[in-house]
């Protein structure tokens, strides 16, 4: 029986009758309000009262869809998609819909905990955030003082930060930059760095945006769009729109008969990790049968069609059949269809890139789009559109000395860190760690060789002080000396932007409800810790955290965004959750439409835009025409 509403059957019948009366009194407007067209409103089915609606950005996965949380009597009772959000267009996935269970998880850590027994023994004492930040500040200050005394900035790298899901809008990097430490280790190398490394050298950005809804032919390798693939909620909608509304053909390669196979016109099950053989054979057919886009290859790549024909000579469909098990005749037929149906696109997030030679597989799949000239076309394979938010000035200078943690010099091509090496580097004495901080991270459970991480955490000689910001107890947090819990994502502030639509957007995460129990968001913990490390500002650290609280910090990150201030600035985002508003989302077609019901088109052909003088400032042009800045490719010289 529900402890809040003890009820007999008789009571239930009485309530049922009165609820029906309320419903009928509210009439048709109640029903209409439940339609997406009037999204953003919700009513209690018991009292009929309008629920408070607070926009937020989801963080159950890394897609960062926009939602509206409905609050009744101070409690979040329901989450729905934000109907004004261009990315997820009013819809959340099942995980996103149930996200408020994170907030009300009965096993949440509701106050800072100080270890009292042996490490990992499970003996804790509840303390206040004031006590917790005082202790953390003292440990950090000890390293900083030692570094100043020895005049050795490398000592700062003994302050180590390891994160799993970091959606702090650069907050952790700012904090570590202020500490003067470069020892930051993310999780990307056990996640998607193989995809990023496959794309970045030739493409610039680390991902693609497949324009599924406008395509006529989608060739998907291992990206299970309708179930799990990256951007799956936004992309599943667009793929279905493309297949059903635009009558696109969908060909799907996946060793499993995954959900996406169910909506495909054709499904092939290659041997795992052999997609690249199929892709190279398709490229072989396209080049040999002169189905390629000659002008695009000559203008936008550093090879000629003749060189490609020669390079692909041995990758015949028969070779691919032997490698993958997919019949050569099908590979030939699909290559011809794909090259002659316009527009077309591939998608592969995260399929073959997670198998052996994943980066090469990813680069080969992208090549199909390049040789057929489907780049940056409506319905084609497009550059991702993100919208940057700012980092308030003054900005901390960052660590002066590189740290080998996460970026071992022995692996110069392994960008995006090599976090799997971290415990070995510390255990071998190649890196020293005096203070370890972890954030939304659980390597003792989720990493390969998790027992090695566990052994490192247990050893107080290797890790003399370990602070975790985890909101939950975990296989890793159990070894911390101090747990300073962050809130859940519905009780905190962050700026957001992800390329989940071809129209770029900025989103907000805000406190839908005040943090539960005795918890506070990480940004507040960070500000308090810095104020205790550098109370009078003489270390020069405090100036970077001159914010009253986490919300003021995020507000400062949205300042100076062109056009946002005119629309109402930060307060617009608090009210609407996402900016800009491109139009209204048609609940039937899913398209963003203007007042006349006409689609608001996305912008295509971004690669044709000339780089501005500001973008070129500090850039260099390499012999092959690639324009580089800050280690990244930002453009291509075409004349
Ligand atoms: S796909 Fe969207 S709604 Fe689902 S968990 Fe990820 S961000 Fe949330």
Q: What structural domains and CATH numbers belong to the chain?
A: 51-107+491-514+550-603 (3.30.200.210), 109-125+147-174+391-484+515-522 (3.40.50.740), 194-382 (3.40.228.10), 609-639 (no CATH)
- pLDDT over 90 (residue 414): no
pLDDT of residue 526: 98
Model confidence pLDDT, tens digit, residues 68-80: 999 999 999 999 9
Q: How far apart are CA 85 and CA 102, in angstroms?
A: 23
pLDDT band at 37 (very low <50, low <70, confident <90, very high): low
Q: How far apart are CA 625 and CA 635, in angstroms?
A: 8
Q: So what's the ipTM on this one?
A: 0.99
Q: How far is it between the farthest Cα atoms of the chain?
A: 83
Model confidence pLDDT, tens digit, residues 5-15: 333 333 333 33
Asked if 635 and 622 count as a contact pair (C-beta separation under 8 A), the reply is no
* Average pLDDT score over residue span 72-97: 94
Q: If you measure from the C-alpha of residue 55 to the centroid of ligand 1, how many angstroms do you get, rounded to a whole number?
A: 14
pLDDT of residue 38: 53
Ligand 1 atom 6: residue of nearest CA:
61
**Complete DSSP assignment for 154-165:** GGGGGEEEEESS
Asked if 157 and 192 count as a contact pair (C-beta separation under 8 A), the reply is no
Does ligand 1 have an atom closer than 6 angstroms to the CB of 229? no
Asked if 7 and 15 count as a contact pair (C-beta separation under 8 A), the reply is yes
Rg of the chain over CA atoms, in angstroms? 27
- Identify which has the larger pLDDT, 302 or 340: 340
- pLDDT over 80 (residue 350): yes
- pLDDT over 60 (residue 35): no
For residue 189, give the DSSP letter.
G
Cis preceding linkage at 458, omega within 30: no
* Average pLDDT score over residue span 237-253: 96
Q: Please, what is the angle between helix 328-340 and helix 317-324, to 10°?
A: 120
Which H or E run includes 466?
A: strand 465-468
Model confidence pLDDT, tens digit, residues 485-506: 999 999 999 999 999 999 999 9
Residue 471: CA count within 13 A, CB half-sphere:
23
- pLDDT over 60 (residue 582): yes
Beta strands 482-483 and 113-115, pairing class = antiparallel
What b-and-e string marks burial along 122-134, b requiring 16 or more CB atoms within 10 Å of the CB? eebeebebeebbe
Model confidence pLDDT, tens digit, residues 368-396: 999 999 999 999 999 999 898 999 999 99
Q: How far apart are CA 349 and CA 205, in angstroms?
A: 14
For ligand 1, pick from 58, 226, 349, 501 the residue to mutate: most ligand atoms within 8 Å of CB: 58
Q: Where are the alpha helices (DSSP H) in 123-207?
A: 129-149, 171-179, 193-203
Tokens 């003021």 locate to 552
pLDDT of residue 408: 83
Structure tokens at 595: 């007042």
Q: How far apart are CA 352 and CA 75, in angstroms?
A: 43
Residue 414: CA count within 13 A, CB half-sphere:
18
For ligand 1, pick from 55, 61, 100, 489 the residue to mutate: most ligand atoms within 8 Å of CB: 61
Structure tokens at 485: 């819990």
Q: How far apart are CA 584 and CA 40, in angstroms?
A: 13
Q: If you measure from the C-alpha of residue 492 to the centroid of ligand 1, how many angstroms do you get, rounded to a whole number?
A: 17
Q: How far apart are CA 348 and CA 38, in angstroms?
A: 36
Tokens 């090879």 locate to 303
Structure tokens at 431: 């890196």
For ligand 1, pick from 81, 92, 232, 578 the residue to mutate: most ligand atoms within 8 Å of CB: 92
pLDDT of residue 630: 81
Does ligand 1 have an atom closer than 6 angstroms to the CB of 219? no
Residue 327: strand, helix, or coil: coil
Centroid of chain to Cα 403: 25
Total Cβ atoms within 10 A of residue 427: 14
Model confidence pLDDT, tens digit, residues 416-472: 889 999 999 999 999 999 999 999 999 999 999 999 999 999 999 999 999 999 999
Residue 128: strand, helix, or coil: coil
Q: How far apart are CA 472 and CA 381, in angstroms?
A: 40
Atom of ligand 1 nearest to the CA of 63: 7
Q: How far apart are CA 148 and CA 537, in angstroms?
A: 15
Does ligand 1 have an atom closer than 6 angstroms to the CB of 96? yes
User: What are the distances in angstroms from CA 450 to CA 163, 430, 454, 476?
Assistant: 15, 20, 6, 10
Q: If you measure from the C-alpha of residue 68 to the centroid of ligand 1, how many angstroms do you get, rounded to a whole number?
A: 13
Share of the chain above pLDDT 90, in %: 81
* Average pLDDT score over residue span 180-208: 92
Q: Where are the alpha helices (DSSP H) in 428-493?
A: 443-446, 450-458
pLDDT of residue 120: 95
Which H or E run includes 578?
A: strand 578-579
Partner residues linked to 627 by β-bridges: 621, 635
Shortest CA distance to 385 belongs to which of 509, 497, 231?
497
Q: If you measure from the C-alpha of residue 96 to the centroid of ligand 1, how many angstroms do you get, rounded to a whole number?
A: 5
- pLDDT over 50 (residue 21): no
Q: Where are the alpha helices (DSSP H) in 467-565?
A: 522-533, 550-557
pLDDT of residue 557: 97
The length of the chain, given as a count of residues: 639
Asked if 90 and 39 count as a contact pair (C-beta separation under 8 A), the reply is yes
Residue 627: strand, helix, or coil: strand
For residue 242, give the DSSP letter.
I
Structure tokens at 176: 């570590």
The per-residue pLDDT of the chain, averaged, comes to: 92
pLDDT of residue 470: 98
Q: How far apart are CA 150 and CA 165, in angstroms?
A: 35
Q: Where are the alpha helices (DSSP H) in 416-549?
A: 422-427, 443-446, 450-458, 522-533
Does ligand 1 have an atom closer than 6 angstroms to the CB of 64? yes
Q: Helix-strand-coil percent breakdown of the chain, rounded to 5?
A: 35, 15, 45
CA angle, residues 485, 486, 489, in degrees to nearest 5: 145
pLDDT of residue 323: 98
pLDDT of residue 7: 32
Does ligand 1 have an atom closer than 6 angstroms to the CB of 233? yes
pLDDT of residue 416: 87
- Identify which has the larger pLDDT, 229 or 245: 245
* Average pLDDT score over residue span 129-157: 98
Model confidence pLDDT, tens digit, residues 527-562: 999 999 999 999 999 999 999 999 999 999 999 999
pLDDT of residue 88: 95
């Amino acid at each position: 029986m529900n402890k809040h509403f003890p009820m007999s059957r008789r009571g239930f019948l009485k309530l049922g009758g009165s609820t029906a009366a309320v419903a009928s009194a509210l009439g048709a407007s109640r029903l209409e309000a439940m339609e997406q067209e009037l999204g953003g409103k919700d009513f209690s089915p018991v009292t009929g009262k309008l629920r408070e609606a607070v926009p937020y950005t989801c963080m159950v996965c890394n897609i960062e869809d926009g939602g509206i949380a409905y609050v009744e009597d101070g409690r979040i009772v329901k989450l729905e998609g934000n109907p004004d959000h261009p990315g997820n267009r009013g819809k959340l996935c099942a995980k996103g819909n149930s996200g408020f269970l994170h907030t009300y998880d009965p096993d949440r850590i509701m106050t800072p905990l100080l270890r009292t027994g042996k490490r990992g023994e499970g003996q804790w004492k509840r303390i206040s955030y004031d006590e917790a930040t005082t202790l953390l500040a003292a440990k950090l200050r000890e390293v900083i003082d030692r570094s100043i005394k020895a005049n050795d900035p490398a000592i700062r790298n003994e302050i180590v930060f390891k994160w799993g899901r970091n959606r702090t809008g650069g907050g952790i990097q700012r904090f570590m930059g202020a500490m003067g430490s470069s020892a930051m280790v993310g999780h990307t190398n056990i996640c998607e760095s193989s995809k990023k490394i496959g794309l970045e050298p030739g493409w610039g950005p680390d991902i693609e945006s497949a324009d599924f809804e406008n395509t006529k032919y989608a060739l998907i390798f291992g990206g299970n769009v309708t179930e799990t693939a990256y951007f799956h909620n936004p992309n599943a909608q667009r793929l279905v729109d493309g297949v059903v509304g635009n009558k696109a053909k969908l060909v799907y390669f996946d060793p499993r008969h995954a959900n996406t196979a169910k909506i495909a016109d054709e499904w092939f099950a290659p041997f795992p990790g052999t997609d690249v053989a199929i892709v190279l054979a398709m490229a072989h057919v396209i080049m040999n049968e002169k189905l390629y886009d000659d002008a695009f290859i000559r203008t936008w790549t550093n090879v000629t069609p003749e060189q490609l024909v020669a390079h692909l000579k041995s990758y015949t469909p028969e070779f691919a059949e032997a490698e993958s098990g997919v019949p050569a005749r099908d590979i030939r037929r699909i290559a011809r269809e794909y090259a002659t149906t316009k527009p077309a696109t591939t998608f592969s997030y995260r399929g073959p890139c997670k198998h052996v030679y994943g980066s090469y597989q990813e680069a080969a799949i992208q090549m199909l789009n390049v040789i057929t000239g489907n780049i940056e076309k409506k319905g084609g394979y497009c550059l991702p559109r993100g919208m940057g938010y700012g980092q308030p000035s003054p900005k901390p200078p960052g660590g002066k000395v590189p740290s080998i943690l996460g970026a071992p010099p022995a692996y110069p091509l392994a960008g995006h860190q090599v976090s799997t090496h971290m415990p070995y580097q510390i255990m071998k004495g190649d890196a020293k760690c005096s203070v370890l901080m972890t954030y939304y991270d659980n390597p003792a459970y989720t990493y390969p060789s998790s027992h090695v991480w566990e052994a490192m955490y247990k050893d107080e000689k290797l890790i003399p002080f370990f602070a975790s910001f985890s909101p939950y107890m975990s296989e890793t947090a159990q070894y911390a000396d101090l747990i300073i819990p962050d809130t859940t994502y519905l009780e905190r502030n962050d700026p957001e932007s992800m390329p989940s639509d071809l129209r770029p957007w900025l989103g907000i995460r805000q406190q839908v409800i005040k943090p539960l129990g005795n918890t506070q968001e990480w940004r507040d913990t960070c500000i308090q810790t810095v104020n205790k490390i550098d109370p009078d500002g003489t270390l020069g650290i405090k100036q970077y955290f001159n914010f009253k609280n986490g919300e003021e910090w995020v507000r400062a990150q949205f300042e100076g965004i062109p056009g946002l201030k005119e629309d109402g600035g930060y307060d617009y985002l608090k009210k609407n959750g996402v900016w800009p508003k491109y139009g209204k989302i048609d609940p039937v077609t899913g398209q963003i439409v203007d007042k006349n019901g006409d689609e608001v088109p996305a912008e295509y052909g971004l690669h044709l835009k000339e780089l501005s003088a500001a973008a070129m400032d500090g850039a260099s042009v390499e012999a092959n025409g690639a324009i580089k800045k800050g280690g990244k490719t930002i453009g291509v010289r075409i004349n």
